Structure 1
Amino acid sequence: MNSQPDVAILLDHFGKGGVERVACHLANGLHRRGLRVEFAVLQDAGPVRQLLDDGISVHVLRTIGSLPRGARLLAGVPDLARYLRTRRPALFHSPGNHTHMAASLAVRLAAFDGVFVPKITNPIFKQGMKAWKRALRRQIYSRAFAPADRILVLSEPAVARLGAIRADFVDKAVFLHNPYVSEAMAAQDLVRGAPETPVILTVGRLSRQKDHSTLLRAVALLGDRAWRLRICGTGPDQDALQDLAQQLAIADRVEFVGFVDDMVPYYAEATVMALSSRWEDLPATLIEAMACGCPVVSTASSGAVVELLEAVGARAPVPVGDPAALSIALREALDGRLPVVRRETMLAYAIEASCDAHAALFSGLLGRG
């Protein structure tokens, strides 16, 4: 804790989400490339904490622990600003949409003179969003991103979308692949299973965004043919989804696995991975599954998803919130009629390749390129 960090990364805690997992992969990669990395967190706990290399320090901020995550982050702003003033990281990275407001407020409060780099991990404007809410979000994120030196985005379409917040933000945008694909996923000797009953896999937080209710209705339309749905993830909608499975008379064919630390065996065994989201940017689960050789079906939850599936030759996505269309795609998967996607196409998302790109960008911003 004596040396000034080259890179500080803000998290609430080391939770179960993709933002936290990616942040740990990135921190490890930057550390292995010679950068001093430190996390500023509200809680030094969570399942992905074990991913961190030993050389990465963790600074715990003061906040009000009993509050919901968003309010907890805002309550931690004064101590985060104090951290920025005293530890003086050369670069401060806000890794997910939920951290940006607290990060930006702390940057302003601390009069932080280092490099500020937030990353957009979900669309700011969602399909069907009311005009007043779009205007409010535009105002909030215009202010949050104003002090940013660069704004990281996960896809080419997301660069143009920044202009809808503020025109000059496009000039700050940098498209970088997230570090998703591990060596185990990319291993050429990965053996795919062939379960007696075909497995439909889905991975993600049990929340409105992921729209598992549409997936449950889609599998119910498959009728009497053999299948089993395996749901990996936790979240606020679990009880409602279990009730819906009972109502659809498919509860005995649906498995709620909970949080899974190592998804590789699940991708390797699955017949197909299904993404039923209402909105996304570029979800890790699609990329990870295809890297493991698992066929995928998806909703058209973002322009980035549509472009990715087209680019790699996967099945075209189905409309959001359409159980019948999703069921047809799943039937094609169970029949073995999905296009074959070459696993090598996912290597751009390999952890080491992504960390190389992030390290090059960060080092350049710090004048070390």
Structure 2
Amino acid sequence: MHLTILHVSQPVDGGVARVVTDLVRGQRAAGHRVLVACPPEGRLAGQVAAAGAEPLDWPARRSPGPSVPAETGRLGRLVQAAAPDLVHLHSAKAGLAGRLAVRGRLPTVFQPHAWSFAAASGALATASTRWERYATRWATSVLCVSEQERLDGEAAGIAADFTVVPNGVDLRHYAPAERRAARLSLGLDLSEPLAVCVGRLCRQKGQDVLLASWPAVLRRVPTARLALVGGGPDAQALAAQARALPEPYRVTLTGDVADPRRWLAAADLVVLPSRWEGMALAPLEAMAMARPVLLSEVPGAREQLPPEHRASALVPSGDPASLTGALALALSDPLECARRGAEARAWVTARHDVRSVVARVSELYQKSINGGQSTPRVPAQI
């Protein structure tokens, strides 16, 4: 059965945008009509159009605020005009406006891509948690990308029909590439140990913690180099933090990069010291390219790593000292990094192929349309 599927996404960059694009590509290949409502800025609208979807102009800010009523009204009109069989809402802002706009009148899949309350504290975290408990009545299914994300939702009192489908990557696109050629193309020294962090430059991804740890790493591995690959709201602050490090600080901020594969190929180690996640996509992309990763222990991190890597590849979130020790140990042994990278590629190939993700999401859609209820199941607890 061919469906009309409406994805709604804000953000329009980073891992969420790549997840949406991968789903669109797979769903179009299966013959479905796919529409994507998203803000016009950023790469997502162009990427989904290239993948065969119909982009719909939905101006929306990334954070909640006074613009929400207008954004919700605009989205409601788009839903009415599109007449989809199912709506798939990506991340907190689309989940907010989308559930208010649809209110269970259509089968609705909400995918948090990390819970909104994980990014907040105090009164805002309390309000976010209460909203998620209430709004789950308007989601036929809640799609989590890790078991830990599901458990955190349940612990917060969210009573939902949960399904867990771990993130996946296009193994043909993110294929192992020759390190030497990548470094030559980027003008990098062939012999320097290189750590690469790919991600939006923002508090969530923890690049400030990485920079705080870096001087101590250099004291142990003086020839090491660090590259922060990406753009974002904290770009200027992180650049200033890097410039304030003792010379020579050996840090490169690349700015926004459309395709990070050359940087992943050039790396000895890919590091992502996030403060919160659902299951970050960049580490899976790195492992698909046969590069080992070092992650903070946030939801999804342990599950996406080979079991034999977990002891050495996970550090406490927000802990520069632990990050220093693990970074220095890894960068001091590039041969071991290469060995672990080969194991990581085999792990991702077996468990995180995006084609399997598309198939499992398709099964969830059919369940939501055929068996799910689009009206409140039980009174939510606030």
TM-score of the pair, normalised by structure 1: 0.86
Unaligned runs of 5+ in 1: none
Matched-pair identity in %: 25
Number of aligned residues: 351
The code of the aligned residue for 1:235 comes to: G
What displacement does 1:233 show? 1.1
Structure 1 counterpart of 2:154, from 152, 156, 163: 163
Question: Residues 123 and 294 from structure 1, CA distance in 2 versus in 1: closer, same or farther, beyond 3 angstroms?
Answer: same
2:205 counterpart SS class:
coil
Query: In the aligned structure 2, how far is the partner of 1:309 from the partner of 1:344?
Result: 11
* Aligned pairs for 1:305-324 within 5 A: 305-309=301-305, 311=307, 313-314=309-310, 315-324=312-321
| Root mean square deviation, CA, Å | 2.6
Deviations 1:83-133 (A, max 9, x none): 22332211001011221110111013xxx5321101021134439944x44
Q: 2:376 corresponds to which residue?
A: none
Structure ranking higher in helix proportion: 2
Q: 1:123 corresponds to which residue?
A: 115
2:202 counterpart SS class:
coil
Are residue 99 (structure 1) and residue 101 (structure 2) matched?
no
The structure, 1 or 2, with the larger RCO (C-alpha pairs under 8 Å, 6+ apart) is 2
Query: In the aligned structure 1, how far is the partner of 2:107 from the partner of 2:124?
Result: 30
What displacement does 1:330 show? 1.0
The 8 Å contact of residues 168 and 284 in structure 2, kept in 1 or not, is answered as: no
* Aligned pairs for 1:171-210 within 5 A: 172-186=161-175, 190-193=177-180, 195-210=190-205
Q: 1:78 corresponds to which residue?
A: 73
Deviations 1:215-260 (A, max 9, x none): 1121211235101111111122222212211221247511111122
Unaligned runs of 5+ in 2: 184-189, 372-382
Q: 1:350 corresponds to which residue?
A: 353
Deviations 1:298-346 (A, max 9, x none): 22233x2134336353424112222221111111111225572341211
Q: 1:6 corresponds to which residue?
A: 4
Q: 1:247 corresponds to which residue?
A: 244
Are residue 359 (structure 1) and residue 362 (structure 2) matched?
yes
Question: Residues 178 and 68 from structure 1, CA distance in 2 versus in 1: closer, same or farther, beyond 3 angstroms?
Answer: closer
Query: In the aligned structure 2, how far is the partner of 1:105 from the partner of 1:312?
Result: 44
* Aligned pairs for 1:1-369 within 5 A: 6-12=4-10, 15-43=12-40, 45-52=41-48, 53=50, 55-61=52-58, 70-71=64-65, 72=67, 74-108=69-103, 113-126=105-118, 129-130=121-122, 132-166=123-157, 168-169=159-160, 172-186=161-175, 190-193=177-180, 195-224=190-219, 225-250=222-247, 253-302=250-299, 304-309=300-305, 311=307, 313-314=309-310, 315-336=312-333, 337=336, 340=340, 341-347=343-349, 348-367=351-370
TM-score of the pair, normalised by structure 2: 0.83
Question: Residues 23 and 54 from structure 1, CA distance in 2 versus in 1: closer, same or farther, beyond 3 angstroms?
Answer: closer
What displacement does 1:80 show? 1.4
The code of the aligned residue for 1:8 comes to: L
